Amino acid sequence: MLILLPPSETKRPGGTGSLDLSALALPSLMPSRQKAIDALVELSSDSALAARVLGLGPRQLGEIEVNSALRMAPVMAAVDRYTGVLYDALAAGELGPAARRWLGSHVMIHSAPFGPVGALDPIPAYRLGATASMPALGPLRRHWAAAVTAAVEASGASFVLDLRSEAYVALGPLPQSTPSVYLRVVTASDDGGSVRALNHFNKHAKGELTRRLALDRPRIRTAAAFARWASAAGIDVRPGEDRVWSLVVARSGVT
């Protein structure tokens, strides 16, 4: 089982060492990663242009300096680097060694400059969103999509649980040959139906679900096995058409 998570705009500073692209998962993405990093560092040499491309306000201009130092900046495990609602709910720093090892073996986080990286892969802080288009690279969707699709297919994952946002799905559509489920988070309505969860509840539920999986560490190789685990765990997962399933949560999140 492979779980794909979206990144977060907010990141924890600090770390040790520096970026080593050979230490990242999916090594076939090395050329694409090098080009994306080169383009981001080059963009950072023009502060005014970088601010426009990255959508930075006056109080965020320090992010340009963060990007310019990308190659030599300190690194930490990706799952610890990201903060925000999803990663606060996941609370990876509070997990024991076995659960963290499970995250390292089963979870990838889809970043904009590095593509999908393993949960424990060491990465620096950066500022770059999925919809950006850098002058030296063009739209990230065009740069990443085919390479990420091929890398996931070559990984031989038996089953992929896709928890990414739609913007990051566009940066790496899953191959049709790989069994997968795209999970939408919905909340139950008063009339017994369901409605798409608001952004906060969507992210929180995905973080809680990933944490529960890391704690339980089930052996899941198919969509049916995921459904059985969810049912046994008291998690309301409902299969749907075209590999799109629903995770139904109360406003407080996954129980």
CA distance linking residue 219 with residue 226, whole number of Å? 9
Phi (first) and psi of residue 104, to 5 degrees: -60, -30
CA distance linking residue 229 with residue 47, whole number of Å? 49
In the 3-class helix/strand/coil scheme, how is 16-54 assigned residue by residue?
A: ECCCCHHHCCCHHHHHHHHHHHHHHHHHCCCHHHHHHHH
What residues have CB less than 8 Å from 254, skipping those under 6 apart? 205, 208, 209, 212, 235, 247
Phi (first) and psi of residue 54, to 5 degrees: -90, -5
What residues have CB less than 8 Å from 203, skipping those under 6 apart? 84, 85, 86, 89
CB atoms < 10 A from the CB of 71, how many? 12
Per-residue model confidence as pLDDT tens digits over 204-213? 999 999 999 9
What residues have CB less than 8 Å from 108, skipping those under 6 apart? 2, 3, 4, 5, 25, 26, 116, 117, 118, 119
Mean of pLDDT values over 185-199: 72
Q: What is the pLDDT of residue 200?
A: 85
Q: What is the pLDDT of residue 17?
A: 97
Between the CA atoms of 162, 165, 166 and 170, what dihedral angle is there, to the nearest 10 degrees?
Answer: -70
CB atoms < 10 A from the CB of 17, how many? 13
Q: What is the pLDDT of residue 242?
A: 93
What residues have CB less than 8 Å from 149, skipping those under 6 apart? 172, 173, 174, 175
The verdict on pTM exceeding 0.85 is yes
Q: What is the pLDDT of residue 191?
A: 61
Per-residue model confidence as pLDDT tens digits over 28-76? 999 999 999 999 999 999 999 999 999 999 999 999 999 999 999 999 9
Find tokens 């073996």 and name the residue: 105
Q: What is the pLDDT of residue 187?
A: 87
Residue 108 contacts residue 161 (beta carbons within 8 Å): no
Per-residue model confidence as pLDDT tens digits over 97-128? 999 999 999 999 999 999 999 999 999 999 99
Mean of pLDDT values over 148-155: 97
Helix/strand/coil for 61: coil
Helix/strand/coil for 110: strand
**DSSP secondary structure code for residue 175 in this structure:** P
CA distance linking residue 94 with residue 76, whole number of Å? 16
